Structure 1
């Protein structure tokens, strides 16, 4: 028996994976495609379909997560609006690059290589900051230097700081190009940019990142769907699972300290980099062992980190409940 072209087992697996990714995206403020797109590549989907389906998943999960973060007051709408303008332009450019690479027959290799580089470098940067517990002087200096660029109009940020709208547009356009090329909503780049580049607290950065990838995610999905590069049954199964996971992840951001959040984020990025690299090695040299390693990393890391987040969430809720409960003698 099949459902919309997918077997029962396949549907169950995608729903389960969607639940895990939903927890991760709600917690880290990403649409989840930074893990979904590599996973589809690992399974064997063509690059344009993996990218298009990743963007479609971004749109669906971002709507779910944005509503949850809005309830917690963790969205900076002004910053999101300006960033969206830049990202929408960048996605159009990035999308054209992907189809050009596909015509040349080099899309899989190039996209995989860029993924490895970006995930690895970003992961190492975040890991360093997590280990210093946010006290690294060079890390804090980045936000100071960005805020020092005073090109009107200026955009007010949480905490009273301001950043030039032109600077935000440049960042947004760059992330948009990468989003269109890699099939991500830009969340795994948006979170570091808003935290380290603009100096916004992690919780608000997560909520704002999710909110601002909705429109670019919808635009990217539309562009890829026109070329039949979106696997709707797969995206639907993923979204079913992510609906519940996103609520858990978004709630956990209010209960876990920033150092732990950054640490888990770094682990996810580095695992994605190694998994994608292993997949590329298996393709080039035909070694099936590396393909197995890639699949284990992608799915194993999502299970471990999601489980850790849920454990911290439940533990924090339990401790809060005990503090509020009157003592009995």
Structure 2
């Protein structure tokens, strides 16, 4: 099938399969999936600028489907999501400014790449370590719970900050936390996303769980709710620049819509620590892809 905007011919079944796979991952883990969809699209011959915009467009549609399904399951804290968006948007702009600063210094690709690898490896290692401890805790203490954290020191410290105004998030089971803590977490994820050039799902889900204390299932759904707006904004800006092949995005969404439903519903059958343990593999894969990019000098992504 020929896609005139991107100027390529691709088997639509391949695009549907890519969308389906990324949809499952997005619905289950609360990530955009750009780290997988992007390289796949590039390898099919789509120009890099079209890859970015088209991936954001497909990501928006998939996240709408997945977040809506999570909402019906009670896994979306709308109040938390809206506040986080405010901090995230500001952070993305700051991250973009950092990129410009490093561009003036030179070697921006190397600096961003190394930062990306370090951050993703830390997230992967910590999440795997904590989730394994949590699973062992549930087994040894025979706990009948869907979610538990084995490491709560950071969460307790965040909740111990009594800086007015204090807010509650009934949807996440959080009675009281400083508004500035929530905005700060959103700002941090936004800065990292803007600096590293990723959607932020890798970053927000662990930050929501370990810093704010949001249950894993709710963190997944709320993260997807945020992605709808962040990727939607990105889609509009790229579309105005001619970087979106809407036909490729729609074909991918055919598979992604189904995959997102499956991924979202599947979270019902996994306890929080097991979702986090499986999630820990994703940042590791992302880090490996970046290492390959750095070694190859930017080829093959």
**Shared fold, TM over 0.5:** yes
Structure 1 Cα separation of the partners of residues 250 and 242 of structure 2: 15
The residue that corresponds to 1:177 in the other structure is: 191
Partner secondary structure for residue 139 of structure 1:
coil
Question: Which consecutive unaligned segments of at least 5 residues does structure 1 have?
Answer: 296-329
Mean CA deviation greater in 159-168 or 178-187 = 178-187
Say if 2:8 and 2:46, in contact at 8 Å, map to a contact too.
no
Structure 2 Cα separation of the partners of residues 41 and 102 of structure 1: 24
TM-score, normalised via structure 1 length: 0.75
- Aligned residue runs from structure 1 range 84-95, under 5 A: 84-95=85-96
Mean CA deviation greater in 169-178 or 52-61 = 52-61
Show CA shifts across 1:88-115 (max 9, x none): 2222343455578789985654544333
The residue that corresponds to 2:145 in the other structure is: none
- Confirm whether residue 139 of structure 1 aligns to residue 151 of structure 2: yes
Partner secondary structure for residue 254 of structure 1:
helix
Distance 1:3 1:68, change over 3 A: same
Shift of 1:186: 1.4
Mean CA deviation greater in 51-60 or 196-205 = 51-60
Q: Which has the higher contact order (CA 8 A, sep 6+)?
A: 2
Say if 1:22 and 1:61, in contact at 8 Å, map to a contact too.
yes
Structure 1 Cα separation of the partners of residues 253 and 101 of structure 2: 29
Shift of 1:137: 8.2
The residue that corresponds to 2:141 in the other structure is: none
Say if 1:20 and 1:245, in contact at 8 Å, map to a contact too.
yes
Structure 1 Cα separation of the partners of residues 243 and 258 of structure 2: 26
The residue that corresponds to 1:326 in the other structure is: none
Structure 1 Cα separation of the partners of residues 111 and 22 of structure 2: 25
Shift of 1:222: 2.5
- Confirm whether residue 198 of structure 1 aligns to residue 199 of structure 2: no
- Confirm whether residue 187 of structure 1 aligns to residue 196 of structure 2: no
Structure 2 Cα separation of the partners of residues 182 and 121 of structure 1: 15
- Confirm whether residue 267 of structure 1 aligns to residue 278 of structure 2: no
Structure 2 Cα separation of the partners of residues 109 and 48 of structure 1: 20
Distance 1:111 1:37, change over 3 A: farther
TM-score, normalised via structure 2 length: 0.82
Say if 2:149 and 2:273, in contact at 8 Å, map to a contact too.
no
RMSD: 3.1
Shift of 1:282: 1.9
Structure 2 Cα separation of the partners of residues 143 and 220 of structure 1: 31
Indicate which of 129, 137, 148 corresponds to 2:160. 148
Distance 1:46 1:2, change over 3 A: closer
- Aligned residue runs from structure 1 range 249-288, under 5 A: 249-283=263-297
The residue that corresponds to 2:8 in the other structure is: 6
Question: Which consecutive unaligned segments of at least 5 residues does structure 2 have?
Answer: 138-147
Mean CA deviation greater in 161-170 or 223-232 = 223-232
